[in-house]
Amino acid sequence: MIDARRLRILRAVADHRTVTAAAAALYLTPSAVSQQLAALEQETGHRLVERGARGARLTAAGEILLSHANVVLAQLERAEAELAEYGAGVAGTVTVAAFATGIGLVLAPALTELARTAPGIRVRVQDAEGDASVPMVLDRQVDVAVAVEYRGAPAEDDRRLTRVPLYSEPFDAVLPVDHRLADQDQVAVADLSKDSWISPYPGNPCHDVVVLACEYAGFAPRFEHSSDDFRAVVALAGADAGVALVPRSALRGMELTGVVVRPVEGSAPTRRVFAAVRQGAEGHPLIRPVLDAMEAVAVREAGLARA
């Protein structure tokens, strides 16, 4: 009989590529993870993980078991959801990881909505960059992620997750007020090829959007300054330190001293935002109202296109 808890450990090793990282995500010791993997290999009669200098990877047998593990774990999530619904007088805590703009634009208004429609649900919010929250869901550190599309993100058909599109938004060009293109109604990214650039750090999904937009325009941007705080990005542009592409919602209510903001000419780079939960958990009587509230806010109040 295969122990489902060991399947979660196998999936964590596949996700994190090392036993040490998987152990940290699961709040276990590396030796405990190794012991559980050894027990799982004994249960299945197959070697499932190979370890080397570059980390751990699944064997062919491990990949086969992982594909079934995703189905089994999703079904267990559904079972928990149905049992919770059966026992519901709906009250409990849901933990949501979201990036700062997503918190302000969608999640915080959703909390106001939930206080009225589902007062028994307590939502705990954790600030996490757009590429960090999905791994937190998969590792069961949080229940819901508000995330953005990024290179290396799980695909839309990933069997570990259920995704709810929230909104999409364009990036606008932020230029120093005396920039040579400041008087134009729109700015072509290609026309910024010789400028210095200000961007979030590599690994931040918004950095990927900027790089790809510049690649499509035929050049590699020269990054001079880096910050994951868009207020700092705008302040640097206002100090004539460079140009930037910034998600439109991040500019809302921001002090724009010393800069002009212009739409990007043509097909603007876009940030797509979605909520994600472990597959099978989308029907949980505590989680479903949170997803519904965020989706309703995104439609009613965000003023942005659906993702």
Rounded mean pLDDT, 163-188:
94
* Closest residue by Cα to residue 9 from 278, 148, 30, 110: 30
Q: Which pLDDT score is estimated for 136?
A: 92
Is the pLDDT score of 233 beyond 70? Answer: yes
Indicate the average pLDDT of the chain.
Answer: 87
Question: Is 248 within 8 Å of 269 (Cβ atoms)?
Answer: no
Of 32-36, 233-237, 258-262, 284-288, the poorest mean pLDDT is in: 32-36
CB-based contact 241:224 (threshold 8 Å): yes
Instruction: Work out the pLDDT band at 27, boundaries 50, 70, 90.
Output: confident
Spatial distance between the Cα atoms of 5 and 8, rounded to a whole number of angstroms: 5
Residue 100 pLDDT exceeds 70: yes
Tokens of 300: 């009613």
Angle among Cα 36, 42, 47 to the nearest 5 degrees reads 90
| Predicted confidence band of residue 85 (pLDDT cuts 50, 70, 90) | low
| Residue 22 in this model has a pLDDT that exceeds 90 | no
Average pLDDT of the residues in 298-307: 64
Query: Which of 80-84, 122-126, 172-176 bottoms out in mean pLDDT, i.e. has the lowest?
Result: 80-84
pLDDT of 64 reads 85
Over range 61-79, report the average pLDDT.
Answer: 82
What size, in residues, is the chain? 307
Residue-level pLDDT at 88: 59
Span 143-171, average pLDDT = 87
Query: Residues 212-229: pLDDT tens digits?
Result: 999 999 999 999 999 999
Q: What is the pLDDT of residue 303?
A: 54
Nearest residue to 284 (alpha-carbon basis) of 81, 76, 92: 81
| Lowest-confidence pick of 57-61, 184-188, 233-237, 286-290 | 57-61
Torsions phi, psi for 240 (to 5 deg): 65, 30
Inform me whether the pLDDT recorded for 135 exceeds 80: yes
* Minimum mean pLDDT range among 26-40, 79-93, 108-122, 247-261: 79-93
Task: Output the pLDDT for position 90.
Answer: 66
Can you point out the beta strands (E) in the chain? 49-52, 55-58, 92-98, 121-127, 144-148, 161-176, 196-199, 222-226, 244-247, 259-263, 270-278
Confidence of residue 41 (pLDDT cuts 50, 70, 90): confident
Is residue 302 predicted with pLDDT exceeding 60? Answer: no
What local confidence, expressed as pLDDT, does residue 190 receive? 95
Structure tokens at 112: 């106001």
CA distance 2 to 61: 14
Query: Quick one: average pLDDT of 177-183?
Result: 95
Residue given tokens 């729109």 in the structure block: 186
pLDDT more than 70, % of the chain: 96
